[in-house]
Copies of this chain bind each other. A is one copy, B any other.
Amino acid sequence: MTRAGQSRRKTGQAAAEGPHPTWRVTIREVAEAAGVSRSTASRALTGNGYVATLVRDRVREVARGLGYVPDATARHLRRQASQSIGVLVSDLSNPFYAGLAAGISQQARRRKYTMMLADDGGSPEVEAEAAEAFVALRVAGVIVTPVSAQISDYLARHRIPVVEVDRQFAAGDCDAVVVDNERAARKVTAHLLALGHRRIALVIDEMHWTTGRDRLAGYRAAFADAGVALDESLVVSAGWDVDTARIEAHKLLSRPQPPTAVFAANNVLAEAVWRAADELDLAIPERLSLVSFDDVSWMSLVRPGVTAVAQDAVALGEAAISQLFERIQSPNAPARTVLLSTRMVMRGSTAPPPPAGR
C-alpha cells in the first residue's frame, strides 16, 4: 500500500489523476484543470471581481468534480480574519454550561462560524492556557464564563473581542451577558421568609464573583427587607462538585439547630442538598424547604419538584453571540452589559416550616 501523501505531484503537472486525487486538492489544481490562472479560479469561486459567467461556471464545476474544499487556514492567514470563535466554559458536564454551549454552537453555525470549545474545569491556569490557544488561532472573538479577572484583559490586549457570560469580572471594560442575580435571589429568599422560615441557609460555592456576590447580596437584602436577623453561620461555602458539597450539606443539615429551608446557589449545590436530605431522611418540604438557583431538568422529575430560579442557558448563549458579533462589527462602541431576566418556577419543594423549627 502506498503511504498517503508520500509522493506529491510535481507542480505544473497535469492534475487529472483519477477520481480520488492522491493529495489534497488546492486551488492550483482546480485552476489548471479548468485551464485558467489561480487568480481567475479564486474570483470564480469566491465571487469577488470580474469573471466571465461561462468561465465561472466551468471553474465551479471542475472544483466540485475534484472535491475541492478551500483551505480555511490559508484564507484566514491572507484575509487576516478568522471565521471561528472561541468558547470557554467551566464544566461541560454541568447542564447549565452545556446548554450555554449548545446555544452558542447553534447561532455560530447560522452565521457560518465554527466554534472552538474549551473546558477549563474552573481552573485559572487552564483558562489562561485556553486563552492563549485562542489568541494563537486568531479567533474572531471569545465567549467566556470567566474564572479569573485576567482573562478578559489578556484577550483585550490582544485585540480579541470578548463577551463575559454568566459571571462578570471586567464590568465596564468588557461586554457581558448576565442575569439579575441579586433580584432573583432576593425574590426566592423573600418567598421562604414569607412562608415563615427564619433559619434559611444559603449553600453557595464562592462569594467574590458576580454570581456568588450578588446572590449572597440578594439573600441578605431579603432578610433586611423582612426585618429578620440573619444567622451568618447559615451561609455555607460548599465547594464545587456534588460530592464535597453533599458532605457539607450533610453537616449543615445535621447541626443541633438545623435550617428549616435551604437556598442552593446553583444546580450542583441543589443536587448535593437534595442527596444529603435524602441520606438524612429529611422529608421535603415537610421538614426542609429547598429552592435552587438554576432550573435543570431533574428538578421537574423528582417529587416534589424543586422550586427554582430558571435562567435560560440557551438564550444566554444566543444573547452572548449576538453581542459578540455586534462587538466585532464596531470594535470601539462602549462596553455593554446585557441583563437577561429570570423566572421563578414554583414547584412543591417549599412549604411553611415544621412547628418545632420556628
Establish whether residues A303 and B302, one from each chain, have CB atoms under 8 Å apart when the complex forms. yes
Cβ contact within 8 Å between A274 and B301: yes
Q: Are A119 and B106 in contact (CB under 8 A)?
A: yes
11 additional A-B residue pairs with CB within 8 Å, beyond A69-B158, A105-B117, A106-B121: A1-B332, A3-B331, A70-B136, A71-B77, A84-B116, A93-B314, A109-B119, A109-B129, A114-B118, A114-B137, A115-B118
Q: Which of A29-37, A55-63, A96-104, A227-235 contacts B (4 or more CB under 8 A)?
A: A96-104
| Contact residues in B for A4 (Cβ distance below 8 Å) | 159, 331-332
* A157 contacts B by Cβ under 8 Å: yes
**Cβ of A136 to closest chain B Cβ, rounded Å:** 4
Within the complex, the shortest CB–CB distance from A235 to chain B, in Å, comes to 25
Cα-based distance from A179 to B357 in the complex (angstroms): 50
Give A129 Cβ to nearest chain B Cβ, in Å.
7
In the complex, which residues of chain B have a beta carbon less than 8 angstroms from the beta carbon of A115? 116-118
Complex CA distance for A114 and B93, rounded to whole angstroms: 18
A1-48: which residues lie under 8 A (CB-CB) from chain B? Answer: 1, 3-5, 20, 24
Q: How many copies does the complex hold?
A: 2
A322 to chain B, nearest CB (A): 18
The residue that A73 contacts in the complex, of B76, B99, B114, B117, with Cβ under 8 A, is: B76
Query: Within the complex, which residue of B20, B93, B98, B138 is in contact with A72, where a contact is CB–CB below 8 Å?
Result: B138
Q: With A105-B118, A114-B137, A116-B115 in contact, is A67–B157 under 8 Å at CB?
A: yes
| A138 in contact with B67 (CB, 8 Å) | no
Residues of B within 8 A of A315 (CB): none
Output the nearest chain B residue to A1 by Cβ-Cβ distance.
Answer: B332
A275 within 8 A of B: yes
- Are A109's CB and B118's CB within 8 A? yes
- A135 interface hit (Cβ, 8 Å): yes
**A318 at interface, CB cutoff 8 A:** no
Q: A93-B95, A117-B105, A332-B4 are in contact. Are A275 and B302 (CB under 8 A)?
A: no
CB < 8 Å neighbour of A158 from B24, B98, B99, B119: B24
- Would you call B116 and A116 a contact (CB within 8 A)? yes
- How many angstroms from the CA of A95 to the CA of B301 in the assembled complex? 15
Q: Kindly list chain B residues whose C-beta atoms are within 8 Å of the C-beta of A331.
A: 3-4
